[in-house]
């Protein structure tokens, strides 16, 4: 007999993902300008929700919460990319 696959993702989170994944992706894409980074943001936002403590406050407005989470995660990626490109002054070649 085959074993039934049991999802470890709560139904509520599956429904949030299904109804808001496009908005989260578009929001992240607008900030990062990169589809790959936007996919990373999408994954990050929903993984954070999955790991969220059950005692956390209820989301009053999921769309607003997810949009803000997408912007924040996208900005983290943009900042880390900029930090990786910056060169400390002491490492600059001298003329």
Nearest to 25 by CA among 38, 10, 15: 38
The answer to whether residues 69 and 63 touch, using CB atoms and an 8 Å cutoff, is no
Give the C-alpha distances (Å, rounded to integers) separating 57 from 53, 54, 84.
9, 8, 35
Judged by average pLDDT, the poorest of 22-26, 57-61, 63-67 is 57-61
SS3 54: coil
Residue that the structure tokens 């996919």 belong to? 39
Nearest to 29 by CA among 39, 16, 17: 39
- The whole model's pTM is what? 0.77
Residue predicted with more confidence, 44 or 84: 44
CA-angle at 65, arms to 35 and 11, nearest 5°: 85
Rounded-to-integer distance, Cα 39 and Cα 7, Å: 22
- Structure confidence by residue, pLDDT tens digits, 3-58: 556 667 788 899 999 999 999 999 999 999 999 999 999 999 999 998 887 777 77
Q: Looking at the predicted structure, is the pLDDT value of residue 80 above 70?
A: yes
pLDDT of residue 6: 62
What average pLDDT does this structure show over 70-86? 89
pLDDT at 54: 72
């Amino acid at each position: 007999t085959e074993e039934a696959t049991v999802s470890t993702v709560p139904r509520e989170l599956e429904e949030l993902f299904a109804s808001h994944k496009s908005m989260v992706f578009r929001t992240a894409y607008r900030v990062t300008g990169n589809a790959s980074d936007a996919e990373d943001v999408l994954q990050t936002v929903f993984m954070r929700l999955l790991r969220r403590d059950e005692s956390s406050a209820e989301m009053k407005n999921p769309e607003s919460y997810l949009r803000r989470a997408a912007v924040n995660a996208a900005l983290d990626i943009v900042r880390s990319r900029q930090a990786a490109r910056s060169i400390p002054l002491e490492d600059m070649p001298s003329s």
